[in-house]
A and B are shown apart, each in its own frame.
Chain A
Amino acid sequence: MYGMVNKSVQALVTTTFGIDKWESIKRKAGVKEDVFLSNESYPDSITYGLIGAATEVLGMSADEILFAFGEFWILHTAREEYGDMLSSAGRNLPEFLEYLPMFHIRVALIFPNLKPPRFECSNRKADRITMHYFSHRPGLSVFVRGLFSGVAKLYNTPAQITQTKFKDKGDDHDEFLVYWGDAAKQ
């Protein structure tokens, strides 16, 4: 994955737990890089290694970390670094989600080595939408739930995100229901 992803993991760890924890995570993961360059492509194993080491060093479960990372990616990294790109993708939560299938395709034009996920929407209603997530990478569905949660927070829209299909339980792909109706406000 591109360096921006690892950089974001780094930012999440250093801002919430401090630089020392990040150094031990890097050491534990056997990562030699001093700095990650946003537009440089790194092996996925580095990112997975960092997350794995973080569970040990921080004493958190992988799910906790992945969810937090999902929210952090949207609310900090994407908002701070690619804020215009993010806010140009929709004026509100549903508009944004409907545009998401196109999003990484445009990003791919910029990053030639991108192996982005694919999103599809279906069943759009006034208060909900079903999001389908396809990826050749395993184990990231909790991260995606964190991402949706982050996007909802970005638009100040209380929302419930429920995973309705699980690839790791034999489903064809992961599926999420994003609901922003009145019941989500409580």
Chain B
Amino acid sequence: MTQADFMIDREQFSKLFPFHFLLDANMRVLQTGAVLARICPQFCVGQELNDHFSLFDLSSDRAKRITPELISRRQTGIFIFESATSNLSLRLQAIILRDPERYLFLGSPWVRTLKQMQLLQLVMNDFALHDSTVDLLQMTQTNDIIKRDLYQLVADRTAKLSLANAELSRVMRSKDDFLSAMSHELRTPLNAVLGLSESLAEGVYGEMNAKQAQSINTIAESGRHLLSLINDLLDLAKIGAGKMELELNNANMEDVCQASLRLVLGQAQKKNLNLTLAMNDKSVMLMADERRLKQILVNLLSNAVKFTPDGGSVTLETMWDLESESLMFSVRDTGIGITTEDLKRLFSPFTQLDSKLSRQYAGTGLGLSLVLKLAELHGGSVTVESEIGKGSCFTLRIPGKGLENAIRGGDKGAVTISEISPTKILPSNTPLVLVADDNEINLITVSDYLRANQWRVIQARDGLEAVKMARQHAPSLVLMDIQMPQMDGLDAIVHLRADNQYAKIPIIALTSCAIGGDRERCMAAGANDYLSKPVNMKQLVKIMHALLPKDETR
């Protein structure tokens, strides 16, 4: 015996290889390991291998007979022997011994799970300690547990997420509702602030000294600024909720441009700016929502005025863009200009709020994004070019064709279309109200409120226009401001009452002067009721309902 040779007895060998077996040249059993003998007792000394096991071959479904030749041929590979009588498979390595010819197989059961192991009546201790089968089985089992742990975690988080998602969309939906409700709520007290400061400024409550007058002006100005912000916010919320409806009319563009310029004229004069209108076609008509179009232009114009230094100029220019079949409105100024970087972010609401730009352009953040949204609702666009120190040019494009296709309903009078949900179109039997007021803010405020409360609204800006509109559209009810240019409200009422057709139409007089005897004068002229400004909108609507013929109230 050399130093490397050693003897090992049968019991020790069986401990190391509890599943081994030894065959003679005829494939008969000479010896088996202790655990194999326990779980496979029929496979005992003298038995022929092929009576108990067959070769598992991945490449064929037919069980192969195991012969000495086959073993010799494949002796470097892994043998899988399948039991003929049980679920046992053995994973083995073959060793061929000579003189005498013997075949020794070493290995252990081929199992994938601990469960499978148990089904074979095996426990961990049945495996040799050097055999890592058990470790592998434990590892796969634990992996399953870890996987299940993670699945649970993922499921947990997914559930939380979808809950949060549902909550989020609920919040988003209610956000728009909240915004519009809130805006209305905010506007009501603001109306009082504006109305009362107006009355104070007009000396209704007695003369004021210069300092008081100045303060009241500041209050009114801030109030108007706040109101315009609230209006913008409301509009943005409406657009966001797909509830913005355009009232498309065949509108005269010169009127629209002139009216828009008029609204910034005061501002421009204060700064000595040169305000010009250049139209290459003064008779051009366009299917558009006049009020919204003015809103866009006033927004662009007042920005231009705001950022143009004293003595500069602001131009509104219109011309056809044949290529896009649209009318271009360019608002050009000689102002401070905008950097290329800021241009990119100009139209996105809120994102610019903390940038240098927003501080510089204070109060315009909402306006420009609203301008863009309103233009898009018209199927149009807004673009801007600018050069630092030289000025900017904002160009609005409103399509002149194609938009007609979007119009639903007849071609007479105001047509309401809904961009997003056609079901929102107000039925033509909803009462039509004529609101006559020369104060743009009042006009917009009252009209918005009524529209939001499901009335159809047409507008007039002086007494003459009021009479004309009433004859044209035969409204169900008229709200008549008293102090108006051209023809005041009292005269307008008298005119309407003189016409047999309009003798019965309910008219509510609104006046900002709370001077004694006002009421009597209004009623004498033919008004059905009278309210002094600031108007409590809820009260107004209540009175309107009371005055409507029964079949028209909703």
Contacts and interface: CB of A to CB of B under 8 A. Distances in A.
Interface of A: 35, 37-39, 81-82, 84-85, 87-91, 95, 98-99, 102, 106-107, 109-111
A89 B153 contact: no
B115 A106 contact: no
A6 to B, nearest CB: 13
A102 B139 contact: no
B118 A85 contact: no
Contacts of B134: 88, 106
Contacts of B135: 106, 109-110
Interface stretch (B27-35, B122-130, B525-533): B122-130
B153 A88 contact: no
Contacts, number: 60
B57 interface: no
Given A90-B123, A106-B124, A38 B114 contact: no
A95 B124 CA distance: 10
Given A39-B142, A99-B124, A110-B138, A84 B114 contact: yes
B145 interface: yes
30 contacts: A35-B153, A37-B149, A38-B145, A38-B146, A38-B149, A39-B146, A39-B149, A82-B142, A82-B145, A84-B113, A84-B114, A84-B115, A84-B141, A85-B114, A85-B138, A87-B118, A88-B137, A90-B123, A95-B123, A95-B125, A99-B124, A102-B124, A102-B125, A102-B129, A106-B124, A106-B135, A106-B138, A107-B138, A109-B139, A110-B139
Given A99-B123, A106-B124, A37 B153 contact: yes
B44 interface: no
Contacts of B115: 84
A107 B135 CA distance: 8
Contact of A35 (B114, B139, B156): B156
A102 B129 CA distance: 9
Contacts of A38: 145-146, 149
B125 A90 contact: yes
A151 to B, nearest CB: 14
B117 interface: yes
Contacts of B114: 84-85, 88
Interface of B: 113-115, 117-118, 122-125, 129, 134-135, 137-139, 141-142, 145-146, 149, 153, 156
B149 A88 contact: no
A106 B65 CA distance: 38
A110 B114 CA distance: 15
Nearest to A36: B149
Nearest to A110: B142
Contacts of B141: 82, 84-85
A88 B124 contact: yes
Contacts of A109: 135, 138-139
Contacts of B142: 39, 82, 110-111
Across the A-B interface, the 3 shortest Cβ-Cβ residue pairs: A84-B114, A110-B142, A39-B146
B357 to A, nearest CB: 42
Contact of A88 (B123, B129, B139, B146): B123
Contacts of B125: 89-90, 95, 98-99, 102
Contacts of B139: 109-110
A88 B140 CA distance: 14
Contacts of A84: 113-115, 118, 141
Contacts of A82: 141-142, 145
Contacts of A35: 153, 156
Contacts of A90: 123, 125
B340 to A, nearest CB: 47
B49 to A, nearest CB: 29
Contacts of A98: 125
A109 B134 CA distance: 11
Given A35-B153, A37-B149, A37-B153, A89 B138 contact: no
Nearest to B153: A35
Given A84-B113, A85-B114, A91 B138 contact: no
Contacts of A39: 142, 145-146, 149
Nearest to B139: A110
B114 to A, nearest CB: 4
Contacts of A81: 145
Contacts of B149: 37-39
Contacts of A102: 124-125, 129
B53 to A, nearest CB: 24
Identify which of B124, B153, B156 gathers the most chain A CB atoms within 10 Å of its CB.
B124
Contacts of B153: 35, 37
A104 B134 CA distance: 13
A35 B117 CA distance: 33
Nearest to B146: A39
A111 B135 CA distance: 12
Given A84-B114, A111-B142, 9 more contacts: A39-B142, A84-B118, A85-B138, A88-B134, A90-B125, A91-B123, A99-B123, A107-B138, A110-B142
A128 B149 CA distance: 38
Choose among A39, A87, A107, A110 the residue with the greatest number of B CB atoms under 10 Å from its CB.
A110
A91 B134 CA distance: 16
Contacts of B146: 38-39
A106 B113 CA distance: 15
B430 to A, nearest CB: 54
A85 B114 CA distance: 7
Nearest to B132: A109
Nearest to A35: B153
A110 B271 CA distance: 81
Question: Which of B115, B117, B142 has the most chain A CB within a 10 Å cutoff?
Answer: B142
A35 B124 CA distance: 32
A87 B118 CA distance: 8
Contacts of B129: 102
A84 B114 CA distance: 6
A111 B124 CA distance: 18
B161 to A, nearest CB: 14
A89 B138 CA distance: 11
